[in-house]
Chain A
Amino acid sequence: MSEHVDPTAPLQGEPSKSTERKLRKEARVQIVSYFLMIFMTSLAFFSIASDAVDSSFAIPFIVIVGAVQVVMQLYVFMHMGEKGTGWINTMIWSGILIAALTVGALMFLIGIVKY
């Protein structure tokens, strides 16, 4: 980038060939993972909605499927796996850590007290 760039001027030109290739590949990855997520959501839905699956299996199963989907969203749709995302990973994972501790603490603390 040159020093005197007007950031409000419309960008012109074409993406470079390597960028275009990367974008095309990315679009494919995104669409495939979208269908994967649809599939996982449907799987979780049917394991609860139908009586075919025993609930002692279905409950841990849907929680794991939900967690996998969250991680996929973060790394595929939100690009958390790219280069230069060290701080971003630090922030979101410390958020998730505190959230997990909060969920655990609240569940067991309020859940046990008779309200």
Chain B
Amino acid sequence: MAEQQASTYEQLPPNPETATLDGRNKYLGFWFFLGGETVLFGSLIGTYLGLRAGTADGPGPADLFHLDLVFIMTMILLTSSLTSVMAIINMKRGSHKKLLGWMWGTVILGAAFLGFEIYEFYDYYQQGLGFGTSAFSSAFYALVGTHGAHVLFGILWISTLLIRYRNSGITLTNAPKFNTAVLYWHFIDVVWVFIFTVVYLLGIGG
């Protein structure tokens, strides 16, 4: 543990995640990445909307989707977004313990979401929806699967941060890292809200 103090002031910096040039660069660069991610998901959603009617005599959206299960998944992911917001608020308060606690909560909720999604895919597969069954099935698995892969990556990323910084305290080095991981997590949630509407609700209703 370093002997020096990070700040000569008695007070914490109001925004430790952007207090250094390194932190500001991470913040800006990460949003650039998120702009690109938006286009990635845009192209997958567009492909899905173009192909969703092509079920090729296989099962279609209305035969398959469990709207109640997906609704619970949406609630879980929304709640995990709130817990990660609380983590950042506590980081700005200087409470390392609460930061870690809320972040672990986020990881657990994310894992629950992923578990439901794996069950969902398994169930669809059992009902005869393979990846190559129809244009609809390929587009569906590619879109929702890419989102699921993002959730998995987010869980691994946040867990790595939590294990690495388990007793380092909040520093000007790790504050930007936690903040970036939380932004990523919110972005996953944003995309899911859209998938919930465009894939599941429209799949049942339209």
By beta carbon, the residue of chain A nearest B47 is A106
B contact residues, range: 35 or more
**Interface contact B202-A111, CB-CB below 8 Å:** no
Contacts of B27 in A (CB 8 A): 88
**Interface contact B171-A10, CB-CB below 8 Å:** yes
User: What separation, in Å, do the CA atoms of A74 and B169 have in the docked complex?
Assistant: 28
From residue A60, how far is it (CB to closest CB) to chain B in Å?
Answer: 10
User: What separation, in Å, do the CA atoms of A73 and B170 have in the docked complex?
Assistant: 26
**Interface contact B4-A30, CB-CB below 8 Å:** no
User: What separation, in Å, do the CA atoms of A102 and B40 have in the docked complex?
Assistant: 10
Identify whether the interface residues of B are mostly helix, strand, loop, or mixed.
helix
In the complex, whether B183 has a CB less than 8 A from a CB of chain A is yes
By beta carbon, the residue of chain A nearest B91 is A11
User: What separation, in Å, do the CA atoms of A71 and B146 have in the docked complex?
Assistant: 22
**Interface contact B41-A16, CB-CB below 8 Å:** no
**Interface contact B197-A65, CB-CB below 8 Å:** yes
**Interface contact B13-A1, CB-CB below 8 Å:** yes
From residue B41, how far is it (CB to closest CB) to chain A in Å?
Answer: 7
Contacts between chains A and B (CB distance < 8 A), count:
224
In the complex, whether B156 has a CB less than 8 A from a CB of chain A is no
In the complex, whether B160 has a CB less than 8 A from a CB of chain A is no
Contacts of B170 in A (CB 8 A): 10-11
A contact residues, range: 35 or more
Tell whether A41 pairs with B75 under 8 Å between CB atoms, given A11-B7, A73-B190. yes
Contacts of A37 in B (CB 8 A): 78, 193
Contacts of B46 in A (CB 8 A): 102-107
**Interface contact B186-A6, CB-CB below 8 Å:** no
**Interface contact A31-B50, CB-CB below 8 Å:** no
By beta carbon, the residue of chain A nearest B19 is A1
From residue A80, how far is it (CB to closest CB) to chain B in Å?
Answer: 9
One of B42, B51, B193 near A70 (C-beta < 8 A): B193
**Interface contact B28-A87, CB-CB below 8 Å:** yes
By beta carbon, the residue of chain B nearest A85 is B31
By beta carbon, the residue of chain B nearest A73 is B190
Further contacts, 14 of them, CB under 8 A, given A63-B202, A105-B46: A6-B4, A6-B5, A9-B4, A10-B168, A14-B10, A20-B93, A30-B86, A38-B75, A91-B35, A99-B43, A106-B43, A106-B50, A107-B49, A109-B50
